[in-house]
A and B are shown apart, each in its own frame.
Chain A
Amino acid sequence: MTEFFEVVERDGPARRGELRLDQCLITPAVADDVLVDAGDLWSADRDVPEGDSDEVTILPHRGFPPGTADEVVDAFAPSYPDVSYPSAAVIDPRTADDHGADVYILSTAQGVVGHASAFREAIKRVRAGIPDDTGLCLSGVATPANVALLAWAGVDLVDATRAKIAGSRGQYLTPSGSYGLDDLTELPCPCPACARSVDEFDRAACIDHNVATLRAELATVRQRIRDGRLRELLGGRCRHTAWVAAALRESEAHPGYLEERTPVFRRSDILASSDDVLNRVEITRYADRLAERYECRFRRPAVLLPCSARKPYSESQSHRQFRDVIQYRAHRVAISSPIGVVPQELECTYPAQHYDTPVTGRWSPNEVTLIGEQLGAFLATHDYPRIIAHMPPGGYREVVEHAVGVADVDVTYTVEDHPTVEASLSNLAAALDGELAYSRYDRRQHTIRAIADYQFGPGAAAALFPSFDVEAPYPKHRVLGPDGAHLATMVPEYGLLALTLAGARQWVAADLEVRRVTIDDFVPHGDVLAPGILDASADIRVGDEVVVEGPSAFGIGRACMHGRAMVESTRGVAVDLRHSEEL
């Protein structure tokens, strides 16, 4: 139960929160000024402190440093009193639990920061133990170079202690690593402490610089969380600090914790400026869903096309040319890195039109293998009558060749030199000569079905919309029932469906897993707040469509938290309700 901390915005596992003291502190933040230690119980017995609404009182505790044996932890773990003021409890991964505090401080921070897998494991265990909407604090470890990682992993509060200690030893910290004071010939920083000559810059100034730099980096982190782009910042920061890069890779290689916290769509673009991006949950989730949920309903040849800078692809100059030649006689399948295989029905669907990548035409062996495997599996599954690769030479062609090897299929290549030159386009036209065009009706039906399967699970389209009509032009389709009832709208920005109340009723009635939020006996309007929630499906992710049900209300909306957070939280907006009705 937290009364004084609230998560107001999420960016994957990172959160922007508010620590509601007399003066509100926006997190992630340096908390030195507000944390007040009531003392440890190893050295003395202590009374329950009086507390203050202007500070977070760290309740009397026994910290268990890294390496403390489990038996010792179990025997000495203190119990925390119920208090009415803002409070923090000291925990380790073994004692992480709901102790009624607003903030939890991890006592093994020194043992895990700097060690990628230990760090990942500790954060995962602690976050599983403490309520989702409570603050997590790591003391004595934050530096400008690692704080983006700490915040990204879900740490809400840090302190300036490590930055001060480093300064006292003549370590000049920056977000891109540290320098020995003696090695600096000029001061690469505009902070007030650095407004002097390097000869006059002493360790006291270095402490001030380090603290100022840590605070500045946290301001950047907070802005990035607002923008939904913290992962991009971390992707850059980790290039300078080996363990930070290792922690990011370790986390993305064991995605359970991340997956639960990764939204199903984002407003911002994914910047694919390194191979690490291929392991992002957004990318792997798309690949998994494509493999598990997508069904190709076009009985036509496949034309494999290169991706375009402009998105959705079909609106780009090059794809307009391809479409003019193809004339609805083939199924368009775009190939891109990092997204992989994008069938035409999903070209709007997140993340297919939400990425930016440095265009060089060169593909890394890793990209060729990963996307080649994905394409191979795709071609092997979807039994096309013919496969035409309208792909330029170089990386794209290598991907196709890899896929051909995997799928054991025949491919006709139609590009000479460049895909949009006359000769290439005529080759494409010749290859499709004699094929029949599919109807607009089929095109629209297949698009809605593909999106519904992608969004609601394998076979969902048939169960959710057994029979339907589509109106309004692509990509703003509306789905109507046989009786003309409006069931869903395609959201062009994310290529996902937003259900109406009627659509939600069909979802509940269908033989499908429903992402459901059970609320208490009240009629919500606009937002559903966490305290009103009795239960929520564990597989709800931020951005998911969710049915809201209670004794007096039925509604449909979009999740603002993952399912477990909805159940555990005592504060915050859980569901952005689109439609609801009183029962």
Chain B
Amino acid sequence: MSQPSPDVYEQGRGMDAHNQVMRGIRAQAEAAYDPHEPTRVWIDEDRTPDGLQESLTIILNTGGCRWARAGGCTMCGYVAETVDGGSVPHPALLDQLGVALEHEREHTDEPCPLIKIYTSGSFLDEREIGAETRRAIAETFADRERIVVESLPDFVAPEKLEDFVVEGLSTDVAIGLETASDRIRQDCVNKYVTFADFEEAAAIARDVGAGTKAYLLLKPPFLTEAAAVTDMIESIHECGTHAHTVSMNPTNVQRYTMVDELYFRGGYRPPWLWSICEVLESTTGADTIVVSDPVGAGEDRGAHNCGECDEQVAMAIKDFSLRGEPSVFEEVECACKRTWELVMEHETSYNLPLE
């Protein structure tokens, strides 16, 4: 009889196993990228504590996420997007910045008041973005209103955020918390961060006059649709006291991830768009702005419904994210909602995914 010992959970064998498997999966990725080009740049519109603002989003191409090199999170494929060699020098990063500004000039008349900067890892990790580059970026955008930089909580430090605050920018640190549940974050997402780390980082930000934005993951692998929705609602309420905005990211199936392996074998389905509606509708009373911009909505690898109503429901979600008006959901209806209700009722850890 192979009866695993009950204290496996405490010993962290789960994380070792996840990391071992993820390293194997990631080793299959072969793509390499140009260190002088950002990964992606786009112009959009975002809901902020100051209302709707036009935004410039830049995903910088850096050395990549340290945690991903160890194995990393079960749903994250961004490690496949980093450059060879592990780090990108200051001049190359400035080149990337230049490309982003050029893109902005081409695509919008006015400079965007909101700047959002991401890397495939942590913007505040100085192995990815050195202090010199960080300050250069802060100076570059000093004339804007608000800047959001994404980082794991460990790298959040007062002096790093002050680089932006002193330029007069409303500064937000965006933290990929994924869930308020340490258990789910560790066992399903394989992220080493704890809720206490998040609270600590949020406190540091608050002390220097910056804000916190939390990124939460809807439906990590191994969870049922109903458990995922419950976890998201609870997480939003728990984050509300620390973060002025929560961005709900429905899991999408990225290449070279554990989620992709499960999906390929029929063991994972991204969340239903109805689940996103459910969360947004039932958290309107939360003490925080809740937004969601599902990646790949309506596609098989993204959050989706039956195929008939996806476009309409995705529009309602987008609309809600901009305006926060729950009545938008009253206007969408589809027969597949009954199927989703049955999935919510009957999907279990031993029969998922039910479709």
Contact = CB atoms under 8 A, between A and B. Distances in A.
A99 B261 CA distance: 28
Contacts of B157: none
Contact of B348 (A71, A95, A139, A162): A139
A72 B353 contact: no
Interface string A79-100: 1000000000010000101110
Interface string B326-355: 000000000110110011001111111111
Contact of A67 (B5, B265, B306, B349): B265
Contacts of A140: 346-348, 351-352, 354
Interface string A156-190: 00010110110011100000000000000000000
B5 A110 contact: no
Interface string A124-142: 0000000000000001110
B130 interface: no
A66 B262 contact: yes
A111 B266 contact: yes
Contacts of B262: 65-68
A97 B351 CA distance: 19
A44 interface: yes
Interface stretch (A35-43, A260-268, A406-414, A461-469): A35-43
A402 interface: no
Contacts of B20: 71
- Chain A residues touching B, range: 35 or more
Given A66-B262, A165-B339, A72 B18 contact: yes
A538 interface: no
Interface in B1-45: 1-6, 8, 13-14, 16-18, 20-21
A568 to B, nearest CB: 13
Contacts of B181: 43-44
Given A69-B21, A71-B21, A203-B335, A106 B222 contact: no
Contacts of A161: 342, 346, 351, 354
A165 B342 contact: yes
A75 interface: yes
Nearest to A140: B351
A61 interface: yes
A63 B349 CA distance: 5
A62 interface: yes
Contact of B267 (A78, A111, A165): A111
Interface string A22-66: 000000000000000100101111000000000000100111111
A110 B353 contact: yes
A69 B267 CA distance: 11
A37 B184 contact: no
A67 B267 contact: yes
Contact of A43 (B13, B16, B231): B231
B69 interface: no
B8 A75 contact: yes
B4 A42 contact: no
Interface in B180-211: 181, 183-184, 187-188
B24 to A, nearest CB: 8
Interface string A98-109: 110000011111
A163 to B, nearest CB: 10
A193 interface: no
A272 interface: no
Contacts of A107: 349-351
B242 to A, nearest CB: 22
A45 B267 contact: no
A105 B14 CA distance: 22
Interface string B56-92: 0000000000000000000000000000000000000
B92 to A, nearest CB: 36
A522 interface: no
A110 B352 contact: yes
Given A42-B222, A42-B223, A97-B1, A67 B261 contact: yes
Contacts of B221: 65
Nearest to A58: B350
B155 interface: no
A169 B339 contact: yes
A74 B17 contact: yes
Contacts of B224: 40, 43
A72 B261 CA distance: 12
A76 B21 CA distance: 13
Given A76-B17, A79-B5, A168 B342 contact: yes
B4 A74 contact: yes
B141 interface: no
A76 B348 contact: no
Determine which residue in B16, B346, B353 has the highest number of CB atoms from chain A within 10 A of its CB, and name it.
Answer: B346
A207 B223 CA distance: 26
A77 interface: yes
Interface of A: 37, 40, 42-45, 58, 61-69, 71-72, 74-79, 90, 95, 97-99, 105-111, 139-141, 159, 161-162, 164-165, 168-170, 203
23 contacts: A37-B348, A40-B224, A42-B183, A42-B187, A42-B222, A42-B349, A43-B183, A45-B183, A61-B349, A62-B349, A63-B351, A65-B262, A66-B262, A66-B266, A67-B264, A67-B265, A74-B17, A97-B1, A110-B266, A110-B353, A162-B354, A168-B335, A169-B335
Given A42-B188, A165-B342, 16 more contacts: A45-B183, A64-B222, A65-B268, A69-B21, A77-B4, A79-B5, A90-B350, A97-B3, A106-B350, A110-B354, A139-B351, A140-B347, A140-B352, A161-B346, A164-B342, A169-B335
The 6 closest A-B pairs by CB, nearest first: A67-B265, A140-B351, A63-B349, A65-B267, A40-B349, A75-B17
